[in-house]
Amino acid sequence: MISIKVPCSSANIGPGFDVIGLALSEWLEVQINLDDGASADAPYNCRITYEGLGEGEVPLEPDHNLITQTALYVLRCHEQRSFPAKIHVHIINPIPLGRGLGSSGAAVVAGVALGSTVGKLDLSKDRILDFCLMIERHPDNVAAALYGGF
């Protein structure tokens, strides 16, 4: 199993609103396993399960889920049309959705990291940020999630 952990963040900080970001202590976790039990028709070789806040609201189709959609974008930019092997992506999310704690920023960072990991791309943090900004146009939360959390 491979695990990717990304912290939530806040960029709503007084006079630094949308300029200064902080990584916080709640972490989105994406667990990746080879999925020998996946059906042959699993879209893009990927099966998604989800637990945590927003369960029932988060799409579980790879081309509609923000994390796997972002990973597929990164893979396609490197001439890979789908996940290279049948995988099971299990998402554990304690971050409230749409409440100013960077849930979408964390999802985008996790998605780029997922694409880099399964595609064996070995992207640098700066290149990961470049891909994040192609999806999430505001750098405040994605930069805090990517570079913070130490």
**Cβ-proximal residues to 145 (8 Å cutoff; 6+ apart), any chain:** 6, 7, 8, 9, 21, 23, 102, 105, 106, 109
Name which of 8, 11, 12 is nearest 26 in CA terms. 8
Q: How confident is the model at residue 13 (pLDDT cuts 50, 70, 90)?
A: confident
pLDDT in tens, 76-86: 999 999 999 99
pLDDT in tens, 43-76: 899 999 999 999 999 999 999 999 999 999 999 9
Please give the average per-residue pLDDT across 122-131, as a whole number.
98
pLDDT in tens, 20-43: 788 999 999 999 998 776 666 778
Domain boundaries, the chain: 2-147
Let me know if domain 2-147 sits in CATH 1.10.3720.10: no
The pLDDT > 70 percentage for the chain reads: 93
Please give the average per-residue pLDDT across 117-122, as a whole number.
97
